[in-house]
Amino acid sequence: MEKEEFLQVYRHSMAHILAKAVIELYGKENVQYAIGPQIDDGCYYDFLINGSLGQDDFKTIEEKMREIIKRRETWTRKEVSKAEALEMFKDQKFKTELIVDLPEDEVITVYYTGDDYVDLCRGPHVENSQELMNVAYQVHSVSSAYWRGDEHRDQLQRIYLYVFPNKNELKAHINMIKEALERDHKKLGAALDLFMFDETAPGMPYWLPRGWKMYQALLKYSREIQSLHGYTEIAAPLVNNKKLWLISGHWAHYLNNMFIVPGIGGYAKADVNINDVAETLNDNSSSKNVKIQAGSVIYNREELDTMAAKPMNCPNAMMTYKRTNHSYKELPIRYSEYDVLHRKEKSGQMNGLFRVQEFRQDDDHTFVMRSQIKDEIADIIAIADEIYTTFGVTYRAELSTRPDDYMGDIEVWNEAEASLKEILDEKYGVDGYEINEGDGAFYGPKIDLQIKDALGREWQCGTIQLDFQLPHNFGLTYQNSDGEMEMPVVIHRAIYGSLERFIGIIIENFKGIFPFWLSPYQVALVPIRTEHNEYAKKVEEALLAREIRVEADYSDNNMKEKIKKYKNYKDPYILVLGDREAEETTVSINVRGSNKQIQNVPLDKFLEMCDTLNNTHALELIQSLD
């Protein structure tokens, strides 16, 4: 078998061993067993058991599993009718429910492990438990899980198991998990004073002074790159009238994820024809009694006073383009935007900075002729190459195609998907990217860029979306070279994606030890005694004049306490300033991650070094000035 197939079969088989072990330990009459699929690093199984399982039970379960494997029991597959299956599992309510839900003509299979344990399962599995003798495994956690994800159903105990082909791979995985916990951005974000959350604004981060400085450094870098590629930055309202979202299609396709602000007339119905509603944009009457017909529905104007916080920047960019006439000579027109966005998420889905309800994107909407699509996307990919290289991460591309709830003409979708596929074929080769069927945006297919961090984990950040739908909905045009009006194509683009999520990723990638150019504070000043404060302030002024982020401790605290504080904040360079430094206009440098001090470096030379690190966006610190 291929390694991936091998892992699936062995992990799924180990789930059955886990279930059998729990039943033998706690008694068949006391255990209701539900489902037990394989997952990326092992498997889990859900149980309803009297009493709570904890870490004290993990070794006991592992030992019972080991005992079962050593019995070298045969695994037997059997096909049964629905009636036979119901009789087999008549005392197991979760299995019974699964069987009842199956079609009458379904081929039902069960697997026996030995003679005393049977499970409802499609398989495949090993032929004998002895095949699992050398598999390395470990029970690592137990958590609560509602049956079928329904909070109104039984609350089960989910036992998780790591499963790997050998002990070395298991050990490496456990070390990686431990390392990931140490890199947890929520833990590091608090320790480094970067951001906080409060129950008064669920999923909406408060950016603290240090974190906001890093945030601004990211924005500055993005703006610098975009300015070199001909982007123009705009800003637009954060809250828009419902009419805009009806035209864009968000009201029909994204309403459940939007924060709604009802108008005087409350919520308006959503079953409207977007082309009819588009005509109302030019209706300037202020009377609340004006009747507006949209499809089969007639609204009072006050009903259309409903507002929504924007979850995306797209419609605002369309309106910005629509404000005036355009010629083919102007295209491409690139509108970058960093406005705040709001998307409503379920409370259980929010996770630190990775999943929030308020965020910014390094967003762009570029308006192009069809003949310009290929070159424009090639330029976007070049930007992505440059930015991701700056952070020391690699990436791979995925093509996400038409979803079930797509908007527009299927022939236009086919054309858009073919265009993106041709671009990817040329850039990465036919086998150099993956196709993600059905995961495109509702208005167009997209290229997703998955970056890989220091632990080998992948994160979807960048996206390039080709859109023929919104220009049509908003009636966008430009005058072509023949003097005729033609519809532009829109390319939606982000490289960081959500800045909040990207910051969470880089916190974990760098383990809070950021490159010089990105660090909240780049230099910390430690006057040895208060009489050295005057020179330290001169050094601070020189650093600020170069736009180098600096913090200083002018208190009469012990020098070692000051240094320790800044080391805890992981500042790249700590300058210790005393008599000699003041006399000779030099600095003595404590370099982050080094126990050595570089003494008596001319201040001008240190300033030049900082400029170099900022201008090159270097990943590594300069350790020596020899």
In CATH terms, the fold of domain 516-616 is Rossmann fold (3.40.50)
The SS3 of residue 576 is strand
Q: Helices 603-616 & 533-545, crossing angle to 10 degrees?
A: 40
Q: Which of 41, 362, 363, 553 is catalytic?
A: 363
Q: Cβ distance 466 to 416 under 8 Å? A: yes
| Paired strand residues for 462 | 449
Whole-number pLDDT of residue 303: 54
Domain boundaries, the chain: 3-181, 215-237+320-507, 516-616
- Look up the pTM and report it: 0.82
CATH superfamily of 3-181: Threonyl-trna Synthetase; Chain A, domain 2 (3.30.980.10)
Confidence of residue 284 (pLDDT cuts 50, 70, 90): very low
472 assigned to active site: no
> Where residue 1 falls among pLDDT bands split at 50, 70, 90?
low
Q: Give percent above pLDDT 90 in the chain.
A: 72
> Residue 505: CA atoms inside 13 Å, Cβ hemisphere, count?
25
Contact 405, 253 (CB under 8 A): yes
On the question of pLDDT at 234 being above 90, the answer is: yes
Least confident of 57-66, 341-350, 468-477, 561-570: 341-350
Task: Establish whether 461 is a catalytic residue.
Answer: no
Q: What average pLDDT score do residues 470-477 get?
A: 93
Q: Which of 323, 330, 363 is nearest to 235 (CA)?
A: 363
In this prediction, residues 132-160 reach a mean pLDDT of 93
Q: How confident is the model at residue 518 (pLDDT cuts 50, 70, 90)?
A: very high
Q: CA geometry: angle at 556 spanning 554 and 561, to 5°?
A: 90
Q: What does the pLDDT average to over 36-40?
A: 92
Total number of residues shown for the chain: 626
3-181 and 516-616: same fold?
Answer: no
Cα distance between residue 446 and residue 91, in whole Å: 49
E runs forming strands in 412-483 = 433-436, 446-452, 458-467, 478-479
Structure confidence at residue 514 (pLDDT): 97
Nearest to 450 by CA among 496, 395, 401: 395
Among 1-10, 340-349, 615-624, the least confident range: 1-10
Strand pairing report for 307-309 and 136-146:
unpaired
pLDDT tens-place string over residues 373-422:
889 999 999 999 999 999 999 999 999 888 887 877 788 788 888 888 88
pLDDT exceeds 70 at position 590: yes
Residue 343 is among the residues annotated as catalytic for this protein? yes
Rounded to whole angstroms, how far apart are CA atoms 31 and 22?
8
pLDDT tens for residues 92-106?
999 999 999 998 888
- The pLDDT score that the predictor gives to residue 304 is 59
* Residue of 95, 242, 343, 355 with catalytic role: 343
Angle at alpha carbon of residue 575, lines to 573 and 580, rounded to 5°: 150
The Cβ of residue 220 has, within 10 Å, a number of other Cβ atoms equal to 12
Say what the pLDDT of residue 348 is: 77
The answer to whether residue 427 is catalytic is no
Whether residue 275 is predicted with pLDDT greater than 50 in this model: the reply is: no
The yes-or-no answer on residue 421 being catalytic is no
What is the rounded average pLDDT of the residues 425-433?
Answer: 85
Q: How does residue 281 score in pLDDT terms, banded at 50, 70 and 90?
A: very low
CA 496 to chain CA centroid, Å, is: 10
Phi, psi of 276 (to 5 degrees): -70, -40
Q: Which residues contact 77 (CB under 8 A, 6 or more apart)?
A: 109, 110, 111, 123, 125
Which is catalytic among the residues 12, 402, 492, 562?
492
DSSP state, residue 327: B
State residue 324's pLDDT score.
Answer: 96
pLDDT recorded at residue 268: 42
Q: Give pLDDT tens digits for 318-352.
A: 999 999 999 999 999 999 999 999 999 887 788 99
Residue 164 reports pLDDT greater than 60 = yes
Question: Mean pLDDT, to the nearest integer, of 591-611?
Answer: 93
Catalytic choice (314, 364, 549, 617): 314
Q: Which of 210, 310, 365, 532 is catalytic?
A: 365
Q: Which residue in the list 361, 372, 465, 522 is annotated as catalytic?
A: 361
Query: What six digits make up the tokens of 46?
Result: 């859900």
What does the pLDDT read at residue 418? 86
Confidence of residue 259 (pLDDT cuts 50, 70, 90): very high
Average pLDDT score over the chain = 90
Does pLDDT of 264 surpass 70? no
pLDDT at residue 490 is higher than 60 = yes
Is 193 noted as a catalytic residue in this protein?
no
Q: How far apart are CA 400 and CA 437, in angstroms?
A: 6
CATH architecture of the domain with residue range 215-237+320-507: 2-Layer Sandwich (3.30)
Give residue 287's pLDDT band: very low, low, confident or very high (50, 70, 90).
very low
Give the number of C-alpha atoms closer than 13 A to the C-alpha of residue 508, restricted to the C-beta side: 28
